[in-house]
Amino acid sequence: MDWPFLIGVVIFLVGLMASIALHEIGHLVPAKRFGVRVTQYMVGFGPTMWSRRKGETEYGVKWIPFGGYIRMIGMLPPRPTDAPGTARSSSTGPFQGLIESAREVALEEVRPGDEDRVFYRKPWWQKVIIMFGGPAMNFVLAFVLFAVVLMGFGVGVLKTEVSTVPDCVKTAAEYTRNPTCTSADQASPAAAAGLRPGDVIVSVGGKPVGDWEAATRAIRSSGAGPVEIGIKRAGQPMTITADLIAQERESLDEPGKMELVGYLGVSPTQVIERQSIGAVVAHMGDLTARTASSLLRLPEKMVGVWNAAFSGEERDKDGPIGVIGVSRIGGEIAASDAPLENKISIFVSLLASFNLAIGMFNLIPLLPLDGGHIAGGLWEGIKRGFARLTRRPEPAYVDIAKVLPLTYALAFTMIIMAGLLMYADLVNPIRLAG
């Protein structure tokens, strides 16, 4: 048995459960602060592993570590009272029966004296704060974990100092087959120009470059042909002319897309540098934008997961991944030969990314996600604000029970997606390397 792998999986699952627990605390604290009666706080689903009652709330852990919840009384408003003097309206349709059953379940724990402690009667802004508390906790946790990695451990930064200069040009597959250069291999433009390890690139085509990304973009945009490379060698400025060749490389702006660019053939020096709080903010902003873009393309991404699960196609490393898959990566980190400090850094960064993704996913404005309740609260606030401005009677509470059929359909879809991800993570997982 691969004990390091198993230990990594278990540790990562514990980290996920802690993240879920904090997410639910993000809901629990404002709910109690605003006087909503909370009957349960549970981490996990299924049968209860352990629980203890404190005051009016039961706190516990369940056996299936794939989520959690708090149970607040009165999530749905009762059926609106029919107007006096009119016949009681009724409906025997399947959707109406579903809605009425849900109302009964939501109100069955409401006791005499709880009229002002039900969720649906709270001001709209309190509802928004309660439901936003969970995702907000994930965002805070992600920020703290990224700060630990970037400011505590530091990250690898590519410098413009040349690390290696290969003698010839080889693709990754050719290098794997035979790393030794032969007369049949094309000479490296960098080696032909006389670049050496330790040289620092300061300009490309007469334009200064301050970091490796800027140097890479300048070299690529130069295309094939001669270009002047400004360097510092042993502290002395020099200019050499390199005859770049055209090579197909992955786009820097569109991962997965190949493009024909200028190629020099050098590797940069990487150093570990601790970052500032501003770098953490920038990192969070960049990942948030990329995560939002991925969520918008989720249906397309799930098609890729289906193809990977049943057609053997390669998994998209930037595609969706389930709890099993991300825990498996945690096991690979623990079983790798990397130094312990690197393992911890990667582990914490992965957990931070997971929290950011969970927070973003929960903000989708559809029930049963937190974003659906937030949208309902905001809509109620808009309606009540408009009524005050126009001096109209205060409108009724937003009745989210009316969209329960759509909610159940979305919940069913989410279960199918979770099952597909679980299967794909087992038969064709995303791996840390390769």
Q: Which residues are catalytically annotated?
A: 24
The rounded distance, in Å, linking the Cα atoms of 308 and 174 is 27
For residues 358 and 24, give the distance between their C-alpha atoms in angstroms, rounded to a whole number: 12
- Three-state DSSP class for 365? coil
In a 10 Å sphere around its CB, with 0-12 CB exposed, 13-18 middle and 19+ buried, how is residue 240 labelled?
Answer: middle
Structure tokens at 220: 């690529």
User: How far apart are alpha carbons 311 and 296 in whole angstroms?
Assistant: 24
DSSP state of 178: -
Q: How many residues belong to the chain?
A: 434
- Cβ-contact 16, 330 below 8 angstroms: no
Instruction: State the distance between the two ends of the chain, measured CA to CA, in whole angstroms.
Output: 23
Give yes or no for a contact between 49 and 90, defined as CB atoms under 8 angstroms apart: no
d(CA 74, CA 54): 20
Tokens coding 213: 């990304």
